[in-house]
């Protein structure tokens, strides 16, 4: 069986590379480093199918340096040490440090990442890591501090259309089929900005057509994918679609839908920590103050997963999922912080009122720092009305309570304390 279309079309040079102009376009930061012939260790963070592996291979080819690759899914500490030893021995033949590319670096354990530190620090290897997960959570701080972080974006519509044209005009097998792109909306919609998914779907539709000449239409794409809905999901590329459906089911208070998408992720081999993190985010963003216990339970589920692992870990995940889905919903905290951030960006660094400032020195006290501050606990009910916002924003209101039993109580308390504020 021949190579899949996505592999046949893998770019060999930066000029063939599609997308990520902010990194590799003319004058962009990564392009400058590559053209200068010297790169430092870095991590590429972005969704699947946007060219992380391809970019690493192009760089190694451009710099004419040995290229070693490890998969975090199948490699252990021993494999890391062996490849570092190979890199050291190959250094003799090359002035540039050998490149060590680690796919899915977020799946490396702490000990595996620790084993890389020395080689990266000494320059034995130039590390290029690829991850679909936020490195701040998944990569140990000492390693992250030694690497630049570059964010790759989902491909834009124009990028995907360029890729489709290249596929049907340059690939020998597709040229032989005389593929005509009559309609492309369905191809683009199902690809979700993922180049590999796009080419997989195109190849699937072409292979299923018995005609000598193939005309791609939206109807044909939808029909083919409905017949074989998993055909374009090679290697779990529906990752982002499914987690989106999962979170939206929780937000929509449908425990059955949420459990179904949870099961899809479990059966698809999704990282349980990834699921647990999304539950914590959902508890804060979507349930919020309507049921503050949701955040506690989601955190407890996360901790439990770390302690017991699979397969039992599916149970606390399911418990948290059902609890969040059936909880009352509020995004008042989410909306409140967004409103406050927008105000900060619009108004800049407004001065802190003098009475709220700290006064650790005699000079600061002489300047009025802390003067006239009222200590709330010294007053009846542990409350006294005073100004807590900058003068320019003294009447601003960011938190607006929503209509649920928990926040109704908070609203009534605030109305009693702050009689001039509108909490309706």
In a domain, 53, yes or no: yes
Task: Based on the fold, state whether residues 136 and 244 are members of the same structural domain.
Answer: no
pLDDT for the residue numbered 228: 57
C-alpha distances in Å from residue 85, one per residue of 152, 168, 262, 313, 364: 31, 43, 41, 37, 59
Residues 342, 343, 344: CA angle, nearest 5 degrees = 90
pLDDT for the residue numbered 231: 47
In a domain, 2, yes or no: no
Task: Based on the fold, state whether residues 79 and 111 are members of the same structural domain.
Answer: yes
pLDDT for the residue numbered 282: 93
Considering 123, 151, 179, which residue would you say is the last residue of a domain?
A: 151
pTM for the structure as a whole: 0.57
Task: Based on the fold, state whether residues 245 and 322 are members of the same structural domain.
Answer: yes
Task: Based on the fold, state whether residues 166 and 130 are members of the same structural domain.
Answer: no
Residues 6+ apart with CB under 8 A from 277: 137, 302
Task: Based on the fold, state whether residues 34 and 145 are members of the same structural domain.
Answer: yes
In a domain, 340, yes or no: no
Task: Based on the fold, state whether residues 92 and 25 are members of the same structural domain.
Answer: yes
pLDDT for the residue numbered 70: 83
Q: Peptide bond preceding 311: is omega within 30 degrees of 0, i.e. cis?
A: yes
pLDDT for the residue numbered 30: 87
Q: How many domains is the chain partitioned into structurally?
A: 4
Task: Based on the fold, state whether residues 266 and 297 are members of the same structural domain.
Answer: yes
Query: Are 81 and 33 spatial neighbours (Cβ–Cβ below 8 Å)?
Result: no
pLDDT for the residue numbered 95: 62
pLDDT for the residue numbered 281: 93
In a domain, 334, yes or no: no
CA 124 to chain CA mean position, Å: 30
Q: What is the CATH number of the domain that holds 298?
A: 1.20.272.10
Domain carrying residue 380: 351-417
What whole-number distance in Å separates Cα of residue 76 and Cα of residue 31? 32
Query: Are 23 and 150 spatial neighbours (Cβ–Cβ below 8 Å)?
Result: yes
In a domain, 171, yes or no: yes
Per-residue confidence in pLDDT tens, the chain, 424 aa: 568 888 888 888 888 888 888 888 888 888 888 888 788 899 998 888 888 888 988 888 888 888 888 877 777 778 888 888 887 776 655 566 888 898 888 888 788 888 888 888 888 888 899 988 888 877 888 888 888 889 988 888 898 999 899 988 888 888 888 888 888 888 888 787 788 888 888 888 888 877 778 888 888 888 887 665 444 443 444 567 788 889 998 998 888 888 988 988 887 777 888 899 999 999 999 999 889 999 999 999 999 988 888 788 889 999 999 999 999 899 988 888 888 888 888 887 888 887 777 766 777 667 766 778 888 888 788 888 888 888 888 888 888 888 888 888 888 888 888 887 777 6
In a domain, 317, yes or no: yes
Pairing of strands 42-45, 67-71: unpaired
In a domain, 343, yes or no: no
pLDDT for the residue numbered 237: 45
Query: Are 202 and 216 spatial neighbours (Cβ–Cβ below 8 Å)?
Result: yes
């Amino acid at each position: 069986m021949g190579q899949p279309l996505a592999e046949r079309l893998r770019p060999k040079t930066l000029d063939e590379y599609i997308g990520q102009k902010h990194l590799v376009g003319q004058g962009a930061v990564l392009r400058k480093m590559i053209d200068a012939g010297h790169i430092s260790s870095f991590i590429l963070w972005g969704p699947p199918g946007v060219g992380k592996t391809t970019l690493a291979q192009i760089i190694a080819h451009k710099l004419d340096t040995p290229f070693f690759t490890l998969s975090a899914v199948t490699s252990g500490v021993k494999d890391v040490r062996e490849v570092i030893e190979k890199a050291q021995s190959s250094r003799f033949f090359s002035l540039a440090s050998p490149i060590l590319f680690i796919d899915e670096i977020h799946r490396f354990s702490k000990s595996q990442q620790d084993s890389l530190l020395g080689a990266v620090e000494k320059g034995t290897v130039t590390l290029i890591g690829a991850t679909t997960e936020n490195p701040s959570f998944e990569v140990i701080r000492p390693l992250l501090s030694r690497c630049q972080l570059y964010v790759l974006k989902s491909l834009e519509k124009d990028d995907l259309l360029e890729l489709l044209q290249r596929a049907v005009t340059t690939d020998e097998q597709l040229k032989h089929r005389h593929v005509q792109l009559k309609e492309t909306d369905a191809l683009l919609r199902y690809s979700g900005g993922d180049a590999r998914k796009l080419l997989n779907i195109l190849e699937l539709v072409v292979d299923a057509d018995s005609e000598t000449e193939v005309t791609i239409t939206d109807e044909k794409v939808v029909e083919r994918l409905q017949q074989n809905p998993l055909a374009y999901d090679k290697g779990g590329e529906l990752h982002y679609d499914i987690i989106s459906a999962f979170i939206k089911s929780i937000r929509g208070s449908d425990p059955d839908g949420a459990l179904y998408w949870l099961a899809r992720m479990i059966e698809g081999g999704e990282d349980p920590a990834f699921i647990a993190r999304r539950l914590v985010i959902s508890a804060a963003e979507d349930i919020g103050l309507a049921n503050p216990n949701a955040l506690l339970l989601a955190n407890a589920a996360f901790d439990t997963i770390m302690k017991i692992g699979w397969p039992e870990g599916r149970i606390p995940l399911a418990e948290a999922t059902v609890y969040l889905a059936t909880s009352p919903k509020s995004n008042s905290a989410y909306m409140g912080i967004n409103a406050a951030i927008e105000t900060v960006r619009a108004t800049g660094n407004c001065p802190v009122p003098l009475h709220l400032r700290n006064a650790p020195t005699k000079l600061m006290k002489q300047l009025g720092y802390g003067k006239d501050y009222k200590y709330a606990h010294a007053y009846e009910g542990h409350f006294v009305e005073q100004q807590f916002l900058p003068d320019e924003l003294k009447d601003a209101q960011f938190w607006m309570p929503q209509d649920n039993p928990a926040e109704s109580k908070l609203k009534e308390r605030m109305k009693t304390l702050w009689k001039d504020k509108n909490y309706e």
